[in-house]
Amino acid sequence: MNNIFIALGSNLKNPKKQIKNGILSIKKINDVKILKESHLYETPPVGILNQPNFVNAVVKISSSLNPQELLDELLNIENIAGRIRNKKNGPRILDLDILLFNDFILNKDNLTIPHPRMHERLFVLIPLKDIDRNIVIPNQGAIKDIINKLAPENINRIT
| Total-model pTM | 0.95
What pLDDT score was predicted for residue 147? 96
Distance CA 19, CA 105 (A): 27
Catalytic residue (one of 31, 85, 95, 103) = 95
Residue predicted with more confidence, 141 or 47: 141
CATH number for position 27? 3.30.70.560
Distance CA 44, CA 123 (A): 9
CA distances to 71, 100, 141 from 112, rounded to whole Å, are 11, 9, 17
Closest to 36 measured CA to CA, from 56, 18, 62, 16 = 62
Q: What is the mean pLDDT of residues 45-68?
A: 94
Q: Please check whether residue 18 is in contact with residue 12, taking contact to mean a CB–CB distance below 8 angstroms.
A: yes
34, with CB counted inside 10 A (0-12, 13-18, 19+), is middle
Amino acid at 45: P
Query: For residue 75, what are the domain limits?
Result: 2-157
Catalytic residue (one of 92, 103, 133, 145) = 92
Mean pLDDT score across all residues of the chain: 95
Other beta carbons within 10 angstroms of residue 142's beta carbon come to 13
Catalytic residue (one of 83, 85, 103, 145) = 83
- 95 a catalytic residue: yes
What pLDDT score was predicted for residue 46? 85
Tell me the per-residue pLDDT of 70-107, one tens digit each, with 9 for 90 and over.
999 999 999 999 888 877 777 899 999 999 999 999 99
Q: What is the mean pLDDT of residues 108-126?
A: 95
Helices (H), the chain: 15-27, 67-81, 122-131, 143-149
Model confidence at 117: pLDDT above 80: yes
Cis peptide before 114 (omega within 30 of 0): yes
Distance CA 128, CA 60 (A): 9
What pLDDT score was predicted for residue 17? 97
Catalytic residue (one of 31, 97, 117, 121) = 97
Q: What is the mean pLDDT of residues 132-137?
A: 96
Tell me the per-residue pLDDT of 70-79, one tens digit each, with 9 for 90 and over.
999 999 999 9
Question: How many domains does the chain contain in total?
Answer: 1
- 97 a catalytic residue: yes
Which residue(s) pair with 9 in the sheet? 56, 95
